[in-house]
Amino acid sequence: MRVKIEKSQLSTATSRAQGAISERNLAHIGFRAEGNQLHVATSDRILAIYSSMDCEVINEGTVFVPAKLFSDVVRELPDGSVELRAEDSQLIVIAGEKREFTMKLPRVDDRSWQAAPLLETTFEAVLPSDKLAYVIEQVQFCVVPDSPRNYGSVGFLHRPKEHSLRLVGTDGYRLSYAEVELEMPSEFLKNGVCLSKRALQELHRMCNEGFSEISLTVSADQSTMEARVPGYQLFVRLSAVRYPNYYGVLPKQNLSAVKVQRPYLQNVAKRVLLASDKTRALQLCFSDYSLTLRSRTLGSSEGQESISLTDYCQGDRELAINGKFLTDVFSTMSSEEVTINFGSDEDPVVLVPHSEPTSCHSMHVLVPIKES
């Protein structure tokens, strides 16, 4: 194999490939020169990532090299044209305006090229990349890989209504969902799929590649999902986790609602939480036209700050939530105004952004905690 390609293209390909490298010191990256394109592939047990880019192919062929070492070399290459040439047991990397840089990398000979799979399905949905990115951003923070509950380590992508695609994440103490309204094939995601944290991160990365649309396809056996944009394919092995009926967590009654400025309340919460212990308990004390936030460490420190409310005059109410969960929600929101919905000290606290992208809707639910 021998090709000439721009360093910027190699950087893009190696950056994409990182998502499918779970064991960095053992992973390999594959190159296949064919026609006038260089195909780049990496995979592990969960993800497979393929990139294709135009280049000058002098000699066709296939080669595998250590992924981490190659990525480190590409990161330090000077801008401009790069030559990749396979010779004997090495891949030679040549770069520089006068070809002054040379690096010889060991080839891995016990690997064979696997073409990108063709999923057996006729249902494909084409989604706006920016809307899908927004949906993932609003939920992925509460999908935790080391969650004690298996459903807490995945996000549930499904269709609650015919023209709505929703992503849900919950660990039993908090729940976030975001959805986008759009037209899709009637059978697409009929049963929903569970996506790992890594899968969500890579899907989000693809959404931010600058393409206006992204195509999603799920295999007929519900084992694999493909996400695709021109020259870039992501294959995800879907989780077998059985997602719980999360609708029981959503509020079923009308709650009191107050509108607050998110950045201001976010800063107040961070200041007050400096006095909290490991439980991160944050008391919300509502009174007419006022909200006081309190936290304390037993026998040590205590923090408190009040803010004014313009639309609440229903008497005193107190409840406690995990303050870190609250600041996590605020950090992922883009809306300047947020509505806080609450009831008794046993009712969930519901946070809804005031402004969102067109056709997008999200909700964040925090389960109250009992302070001893």
Task: Tell which residue, 22, 128, 114, 140, has the closest CA to residue 62.
Answer: 114
* Per-residue model confidence (pLDDT) at position 265: 95
Judge contact between 155 and 200, C-beta under 8 A: yes
Judge contact between 84 and 92, C-beta under 8 A: yes
* Rounded alpha-carbon distances, angstroms, from residue 186 to 120, 161, 200, 217, 260: 17, 10, 23, 13, 39
Report how far residue 67's alpha carbon sits from residue 31's, in angstroms, rounded to the nearest whole number.
11
DSSP 239: B
Give all domains of the chain, ordered by start, each with its CATH number.
2-106 (3.10.150.10), 127-171+197-247 (3.10.150.10), 251-366 (3.10.150.10)
Judge contact between 39 and 50, C-beta under 8 A: yes
The three-state secondary structure class of 105 is strand
- Cβ neighbors of 340 (< 8 A, separation 6 or more) are 257, 258, 259, 260, 349, 350, 351
Interior angle at CA 322, CA 316 and CA 326, nearest 5? 85
* Per-residue model confidence (pLDDT) at position 123: 82
Question: Amino acid identity of 201?
Answer: Q
Range 79-107 burial, b when 16+ CB lie within 10 A, else e? eebbbbbbeeeebebbbeeeeeeebebeb
* Rounded alpha-carbon distances, angstroms, from residue 335 to 133, 137, 201, 330, 362: 16, 13, 22, 9, 11
Report how far residue 18's alpha carbon sits from residue 95's, in angstroms, rounded to the nearest whole number.
22
The side-by-side arrangement of strands in the sheet containing 302-308 is 302-308, 290-296, 281-287, 317-322
Judge contact between 83 and 104, C-beta under 8 A: no
Report how far residue 249's alpha carbon sits from residue 156's, in angstroms, rounded to the nearest whole number.
15
* Per-residue model confidence (pLDDT) at position 54: 96
Judge contact between 134 and 104, C-beta under 8 A: no
DSSP 25: T
Helix (H) or strand (E) holding 7: helix 7-17
- Cβ neighbors of 271 (< 8 A, separation 6 or more) are 303, 305
80 backbone φψ class: left, alpha, beta (φ>0; ψ -120 to 50) = left
In this structure, what are the phi and psi dihedrals at residue 113, rounded to the nearest 5 degrees?
-70, 130
* Per-residue model confidence (pLDDT) at position 181: 96
Report how far residue 171's alpha carbon sits from residue 141's, in angstroms, rounded to the nearest whole number.
11
pLDDT, one tens digit for every residue, the chain (372 residues)? 999 999 999 999 999 999 888 776 668 999 999 999 999 999 988 899 999 999 999 999 999 999 999 999 999 999 999 999 999 899 999 999 999 999 999 999 888 898 888 888 768 899 999 999 999 999 999 999 888 889 999 999 999 999 999 999 998 889 999 999 999 998 898 889 999 999 999 999 999 999 999 999 999 888 999 999 999 999 999 998 999 999 888 887 778 899 999 999 999 999 999 998 888 899 999 999 999 999 988 667 899 999 999 889 988 999 999 999 999 999 999 999 999 999 887 889 999 999 999 999 999 999 998 755
| pLDDT tens for each residue of 90-118 | 999 999 999 999 999 999 988 889 888 88
Report how far residue 239's alpha carbon sits from residue 224's, in angstroms, rounded to the nearest whole number.
9
Partners of 217 in beta bridges:
124, 226
Range 251-289 burial, b when 16+ CB lie within 10 A, else e? eeeebbebebebeebbebbeebbeebeeebbbbbbbbee
Q: Going by DSSP bridges, is the β-strand pair 349-353/101-106 parallel, antiparallel, or unpaired?
A: unpaired
* Per-residue model confidence (pLDDT) at position 213: 97
* Per-residue model confidence (pLDDT) at position 25: 63
* Per-residue model confidence (pLDDT) at position 172: 85
DSSP per-residue codes, 161-201: ETTEEEEEEE-SSEEEEEEEE----TTTTSS-EEEEHHHHH
| pLDDT tens for each residue of 292-323 | 999 988 667 899 999 999 889 988 999 999 99
